[in-house]
Structure 1
Amino acid sequence: MAILNTIRKRTSVLIIVIGLALFSFVISGIFSSNAFQSGDFSNNVAEVNDTPLSIEDFRQSLEISSNAYGQSFSNSQLVNIVFDQEVRKEILKQEHEKLGLNIEGDQIVDFIRTSGYANIPAFQNDEGFFDEYVFKATVASWKATNPAQYDAWLIDEANIISAAKEQIYFNFVKAGVSTSLQEGARTFKFQNDKVSFDYVQLPYSSITDSLVSVSKEEIATYVAENSKQFKQEEARDLRYVFFQEKPSKADEDAVLARITSLLEDREEYNEETKGSVIVQGFKNTTDEADFIQRFSDVAGNLEYRTAETLPAVAAVQITLLAKGAVYGPYKDGNTYKISKLVDSKKNGSVRSSHILVAYKGADRAASTVERSKEEARTKAQEYLRRARSGNEAFADLAREGSDGPTGSQGGDLGFVNEGVMVDAFNDYIFDNPVGRIGLVETEFGYHVVKVEAKRDVYSVATVTLRIEPSETTTNTLFTDATSFEMKVSDAEPNAFSTIANEGGYTVRPISQLKVLDENLPGLGAQRNIVRWAFDSDRKVGDVSRFDIAGGYVIAQMTKKYEEGVQTPEQASARVLPILRKQKKAAMLKDQYGSSDFENLKGQSAANAGSALAMTTRSSVISGIGSEPYVVGKALALDEGQTSSLIEGEYGVYALKITEKNEAMSLATYAPFTETIAAQRQNQAAANAFYALKEKAEIKDNRAIFY
């Protein structure tokens, strides 16, 4: 007690000490972070050509986008979207400034007139159209009387100016794109020149891979000569074992025993009466709603439902129960359930369709409805006659003439229980047999109604208990995960898989993890693991445990990829087949290059065939595959001419041209020229920005903050 009294007297001092300890912990975490250790700490999320993009401004943009997109994207996805937008905006802003591109007030108005802003009611006149004077008056009013709204408008205005400048800039780019008539003529020729030929193919597969040696030096040379194709980002390879938090067989048995005990009456000690009382079980209770509320992990109700909405694993058994009977326990996913049939109703749910004919003044009638009540009744009676005749589908009539919102769906109202619809409509569909068509008047107008189908409904009480891991199970899981972590941390790095196999654990690999990745295979969104992998002091072989939703992950880094050009080892999977194919082509040419076309046909390795009406756009040789280079060479030969061996995708080929049809001459090639010009202009904006982005020096600091 003396110690407690001392603590009470020194509460203020204790709070200060704890606060300082927490502060020092946070600060030490910051200063030991990747950014501080590498000396790259920055308050900027990026730098574009030495122009900083501050994290404060970025977070404001992120908040605006988050409000706009809602839950459509994860936080990491949204960060990447906004980052790309802000970098794009800055790159183009710098380009606009170089060109001295400015926007005047009239240009802003013109841009708004053709944008979504024109649909803002505050900017429209009485006729519902954008009005320049109304727009200016509204903005002036905001400035004078509503500072918050005016500040929001200034942000919009800045975005409008930026968008207008982009539009003008890219219009300049498109204006610089031109296409000649000669290009149109050449395109027409490429598309319509046709060639047929006989061929002899010597497939690469005729030489086994083991006969073709490719050295590491040859791979290195190929990578060096084609370095742009082998650029790589900084990346990591990991492997991990996931200790999933899931219930054991003992946990499942315990839940089964618990839910089984709820079925029968039982004796319990009552604290108030100081004696034993009998508590009714699920079988005998007459207050099922109260029983569910007291004992079920999942809320339930006794509403009438069709069999299709009952638990699929037990629906048939439940519908066959006598009133008051119980089915279960039964397992449904990760739960155990017991269900009682409280009541059932024959034909208690009805599906119907209708054609609504509204009139002026009817409830919820559209403002465009001008017909009188008498005219509506006459029109409805006409639709009733047509529907009963059977000559036209009811759904087609509903699409044609219904004023209701379900008209486009053929008037289908789906299944409803009794009491859902207004009285007159409800009485008709429940009192009449399936197939009956009639006329019903409600406050909404006149309905031509068809009873489509009926189903029985059931009031079912269900008690649900979740099958969850017990405290013993979670403690054992933590012990197992920690034990594995300690073993692999103390062992050699390459012993990770061996130790996992000895423990009966599954090792899962993660390849080429990037610094801004979020989702990991088998684990979902795990930015904390990604950040760990890219810490500046992280080494190959390092191991760490991560507490994630649903369990623990023991991860190990197995490989680092530095930004730049891939090493020969990294590129070998791509380069080896290319060089092997080139060598096979040379071997086949050396062996068969002196043979004429007819002699080649007789070779055991050869495949002979014909290709008809081939064009540059249709270069697939039947039974072989796409051979654009071979077809291109064929189009360059004359009819009757035989080629030397040509290196293709699937082998080397000798060709004999059997027929050649050149494209007809046209009086003008303007349509083709215009098509090419339109395609190029459509691509111009994207290509121009891509070129600007490639040229720009962009320092990306996202990984520091996110």
Structure 2
Amino acid sequence: MAILEKIRNRTVFLIVIIGLALFAFVISDVISSRGGGMNHPTEIGKVNGKEISTESFRFQVENLLRSVGGNATTMQAVNRVWDENVRNIVLNQQFEKLGLSVEKDQILSVLSKNQAIAQNPEFQNEFGVFDASKFVNYIAMLKSSNPALYEQWRMQEEGIVEMAKQQTYFNLIRSGLGVTQAEAEMAYHQENDKADIKYVTLQYSSIADSTINVSDKDIKAYIKKHEKEFEREAYRNIQYVVVNEMASEQDKQAIKDELVALLQPSIVYNSQTKSNDTISGFAKTNRIADFVAKNSQLPYDSLFVGKSQLPVAFADTLFALPKGAIYGPYEDAGYYKISRMIDKQANGSVEASHILIAYQGSQAANPNTSLTKEQAKAKAEELLAKAKVKDADFAALARENSDDPSASIRGGDLGFFQRGMMVKPFEDFAFSNPIGYMGVVETDFGFHVIKITNKAEAVKLATIAQKIEASDATTNELFTKVTRFEMDANEDVKNFGAVASKSELSVLRADNLNANDEYIIGLGNNRQIVQWAFTKDTKVGEIKRFQTPTGYVVAQLTKKAEKGISTTEEAAPFVKPILIRQKKAELLAEKMKGASLEEIASANKTQVQSANALTMNNPIIIGVGREPKVVGTAFGLKSGQVSKPIEGENGVYVVEVSSTQPATALSEYKAFAQSIENLRTGRASQEVYNALLKASDIEDNRSSIY
């Protein structure tokens, strides 16, 4: 009804605009359905010629979204499923080339390392060891008795096979990454050989950037020489204004007035008695739950609460209210509220700590849980005895033994809680025993060693609340403002910013949007705007209005760039500093010609400096910074030899080696060989996959479908 009211309140002028907009939308939809707009291919992508079916892809995305609940957006799920599909195809193509397959015993080997399966008593022999034959028989039984569950297993098996193939493939690669004696010896010397040098340096900062001329021709030449570094995906730039539907001061006052009026009695006509009835207001009513249900946008909470559960800014005031007292209106979490103290309860809030010991089959059990119920109880009793020892550290016992994941952070401290917040056995123990009391309680989660640390008063409040939101009048006014701005901006597309300023709107920019993006700086997730920017028919300069959950956005497409090599303008911010440094290096190198360091220093009115105990692995010159090229050059010189000018990170250098101290040779270098091998094998999987991915021909149509 609220929407209909808003439509009725629009002026004729605005209705005409909407009508024209709808007509334009219908026409554009007809046109786009005949070939305009975004293309919708039958497959969502191809990887080296292998198609990824859109139907299968959608199914995977929907499954993922269901499994994560509301913890991922659609595009996050899409991107994750895409990455998994691409990875599987790229690697499986390698497996096929190698003739790599996975045998039954390999699958069973993987399963034997899965705690949930290997520790299931149903699949263990009399010694408690995983028995593969029992598991195989179980799967065979599923196939005939429970086809649905068998199908779930079959899909799980496919994942296991995939994982086993990948393990085999990457193990083959790792086996070829051994380290030779020469490599290990070199690593030892790079870490331990030392050199003392003298040097003269002229820093790049001695020449102002403004004195160096870098032309577009220079930048183009650099890009051409380093094309691979400047390959980029298609992107779009937009500018936009945001108009949020926010309550005006008048709206806020009206909401507060409406709440205050609810405190007083009201006169209501009774159709049965055909007379007026006086209905008690919030301040005096005895039917609290009914009154709140009828007049509040937030539900009535009949539980007692502790002070820590009240709004921080008003906790002291609310907690101190006498029974029957009223406080408000006050603003909290986007609502105006009025609260009434209903009741107070001494010791209605308990603070406690616990140590949870889970057992197999309990709700807190995980794949690593190995204790039986009897063993868990015995362990809990043992911990209780330790906790009761004088000066025992309960928090330390919790951190070391508790199966509650929060124990490592909070040391078992649960803070204050009230009735209804804990499972019944736990709650009964906490509220029926005095401060300092400890004991063991069993719940569905396992056995708890509980220590009661404090008790406090709890209160029961009734609160009526109204959301602070724009009225229909304010919403209509904002709609008119946005529509007028959109029309004015379309009449002067080259001056979007100036038109926005006249309308007292701020212009924001979002550059380098990629086709699969959904997050826009300043807006958050807004996939529809990105899709519009990448639609084939959207032209540079085009303007469009979008409705968002909080109001409106009017956006203008300011740049379209397709996949390719960066332009001179795009690359300039990255290339120009490099070329400036190179040109400075050439100028400084010209000044550093001489037979000795002293001669070079004298000619440039500077001093000869020294740096001692330099190593290849840690090429830092104290007082200057990291200079790998300078230090590397020094290790290639003989004692007393003067280098040519070296282009370093911070300036140009000429060095002379004063002395070198080669490290003492070792009888063997196994430790260094192992260190190198660990480094290589540790990153082998990712680096190999990255190389395969880079070499793959990938067609990505995600943005056309999602």
**Normalising to structure 1: TM-score of the pair?**
0.84
Deviation of the 1:604 alpha carbon:
7.8
Match of 1:687 in 2: 687
C-alpha distance in structure 1 between counterparts of 2:75 and 2:424, whole Å? 48
Match of 1:211 in 2: 211
Match of 2:88 in 1: 89
Q: What letter is aligned with 2:236?
A: R
Equivalences for 1:130-145 in 2 at 5 Å? 130-145=130-145
Any unmatched runs of 5+ in structure 1?
Answer: 1-21, 359-363
Match of 2:523 in 1: 523
Match of 1:474, SS state, is: helix
Residue 193 (structure 2) pairs with residue 190 (structure 1): no
C-alpha distance in structure 2 between counterparts of 1:664 and 1:256, whole Å? 83
Q: Structure 1's 206 and 110: CA in aligned 2 closer, same or farther, altered over 3 A?
A: same
Deviation of the 1:673 alpha carbon:
2.2
Deviation of the 1:559 alpha carbon:
1.0
Match of 2:611 in 1: 611
Match of 1:315 in 2: 315
Q: Structure 1's 659 and 268: CA in aligned 2 closer, same or farther, altered over 3 A?
A: farther
Q: What letter is aligned with 2:259?
A: I
Match of 2:676, SS state, is: helix
Deviation of the 1:357 alpha carbon:
11
Match of 2:297 in 1: 297
- Is 206-215 or 282-291 further displaced after alignment? 282-291
Q: Structure 1's 403 and 145: CA in aligned 2 closer, same or farther, altered over 3 A?
A: closer
Larger Rg: 1
Deviation of the 1:601 alpha carbon:
4.8
Match of 1:72 in 2: 71
Match of 1:339, SS state, is: strand
Equivalences for 1:30-41 in 2 at 5 Å? 30-32=33-35, 34-36=37-39, 41=40
Match of 2:179 in 1: 179
C-alpha distance in structure 2 between counterparts of 1:44 and 1:399, whole Å? 52
Match of 1:55 in 2: 54
C-alpha distance in structure 1 between counterparts of 2:26 and 2:480, whole Å? 31
Residue 416 (structure 2) pairs with residue 415 (structure 1): yes
Match of 2:170, SS state, is: helix
Is the CA contact (8 Å cut-off) linking 1:424 and 1:440 kept in structure 2?
A: no
C-alpha distance in structure 1 between counterparts of 2:100 and 2:500, whole Å? 63
Match of 1:239, SS state, is: strand
Deviation of the 1:609 alpha carbon:
4.8
C-alpha distance in structure 2 between counterparts of 1:315 and 1:678, whole Å? 56
Equivalences for 1:113-128 in 2 at 5 Å? 113-114=112-113, 118-119=117-118, 121=120, 124-127=123-126
Match of 1:304, SS state, is: coil
Deviation of the 1:665 alpha carbon:
0.8
Match of 2:483 in 1: 482
Q: Structure 1's 705 and 605: CA in aligned 2 closer, same or farther, altered over 3 A?
A: farther
Deviation of the 1:549 alpha carbon:
1.4
C-alpha distance in structure 1 between counterparts of 2:324 and 2:604, whole Å? 81
- Is 46-55 or 146-155 further displaced after alignment? 146-155
Q: What letter is aligned with 1:470?
A: S
Match of 2:374 in 1: 369
Deviation of the 1:235 alpha carbon:
0.6
C-alpha distance in structure 2 between counterparts of 1:423 and 1:167, whole Å? 47
Q: Structure 1's 665 and 563: CA in aligned 2 closer, same or farther, altered over 3 A?
A: same
C-alpha distance in structure 1 between counterparts of 2:206 and 2:454, whole Å? 66
C-alpha distance in structure 2 between counterparts of 1:520 and 1:679, whole Å? 38
C-alpha distance in structure 2 between counterparts of 1:222 and 1:357, whole Å? 65
Match of 1:17 in 2: none
Is the CA contact (8 Å cut-off) linking 2:350 and 2:430 kept in structure 1?
A: no
Match of 2:463 in 1: 462
Match of 1:625 in 2: 625
Q: Structure 1's 631 and 510: CA in aligned 2 closer, same or farther, altered over 3 A?
A: same
C-alpha distance in structure 1 between counterparts of 2:377 and 2:43, whole Å? 67
Deviation of the 1:347 alpha carbon:
4.0
C-alpha distance in structure 2 between counterparts of 1:411 and 1:660, whole Å? 58
Q: 1:383-410 CA distances to partner (integer Å, 9 max, x unpaired)?
A: 58x53xx443354567789999999876
Q: What letter is aligned with 1:678?
A: N
Percent sequence identity over matched residues? 35
Equivalences for 1:550-569 in 2 at 5 Å? 550-569=550-569
Is the CA contact (8 Å cut-off) linking 1:440 and 1:446 kept in structure 2?
A: no
Match of 1:8 in 2: none
Is the CA contact (8 Å cut-off) linking 2:47 and 2:89 kept in structure 1?
A: yes
C-alpha distance in structure 2 between counterparts of 1:440 and 1:680, whole Å? 53
Is the CA contact (8 Å cut-off) linking 2:377 and 2:447 kept in structure 1?
A: no
Match of 1:582 in 2: 582
Match of 1:341 in 2: 341
Deviation of the 1:125 alpha carbon:
3.2
Q: 1:470-496 CA distances to partner (integer Å, 9 max, x unpaired)?
A: 1111122221111111111121x3301
Q: Structure 1's 66 and 295: CA in aligned 2 closer, same or farther, altered over 3 A?
A: closer
Deviation of the 1:24 alpha carbon:
11
Is the CA contact (8 Å cut-off) linking 1:124 and 1:130 kept in structure 2?
A: yes
Q: Structure 1's 547 and 100: CA in aligned 2 closer, same or farther, altered over 3 A?
A: same
Q: 1:357-377 CA distances to partner (integer Å, 9 max, x unpaired)?
A: 99xxxxx9974537999x999
Q: What letter is aligned with 1:335?
A: Y
Match of 2:265 in 1: 265
C-alpha distance in structure 1 between counterparts of 2:142 and 2:109, whole Å? 21
Is the CA contact (8 Å cut-off) linking 1:295 and 1:463 kept in structure 2?
A: yes
C-alpha distance in structure 2 between counterparts of 1:268 and 1:530, whole Å? 53
Match of 1:100 in 2: 99
Is the CA contact (8 Å cut-off) linking 2:440 and 2:450 kept in structure 1?
A: no
C-alpha distance in structure 1 between counterparts of 2:442 and 2:117, whole Å? 38
Q: What letter is aligned with 1:153?
A: W
Is the CA contact (8 Å cut-off) linking 1:425 and 1:442 kept in structure 2?
A: no
Is the CA contact (8 Å cut-off) linking 1:380 and 1:447 kept in structure 2?
A: no
Is the CA contact (8 Å cut-off) linking 2:292 and 2:462 kept in structure 1?
A: yes
Q: What letter is aligned with 1:181?
A: Q
Match of 2:664, SS state, is: coil
Residue-pair matches, total: 668
Is the CA contact (8 Å cut-off) linking 2:44 and 2:700 kept in structure 1?
A: yes
Deviation of the 1:544 alpha carbon:
1.0
Q: 1:450-472 CA distances to partner (integer Å, 9 max, x unpaired)?
A: 55223222222221111111111
- Is 418-427 or 343-352 further displaced after alignment? 418-427
Is the CA contact (8 Å cut-off) linking 1:252 and 1:467 kept in structure 2?
A: yes
Q: 1:413-463 CA distances to partner (integer Å, 9 max, x unpaired)?
A: 54344797979996897675x5xx457697899999755223222222221
C-alpha distance in structure 1 between counterparts of 2:270 and 2:629, whole Å? 91
Is the CA contact (8 Å cut-off) linking 1:641 and 1:657 kept in structure 2?
A: yes
Match of 1:18 in 2: none
C-alpha distance in structure 1 between counterparts of 2:674 and 2:233, whole Å? 40
C-alpha distance in structure 1 between counterparts of 2:176 and 2:426, whole Å? 69
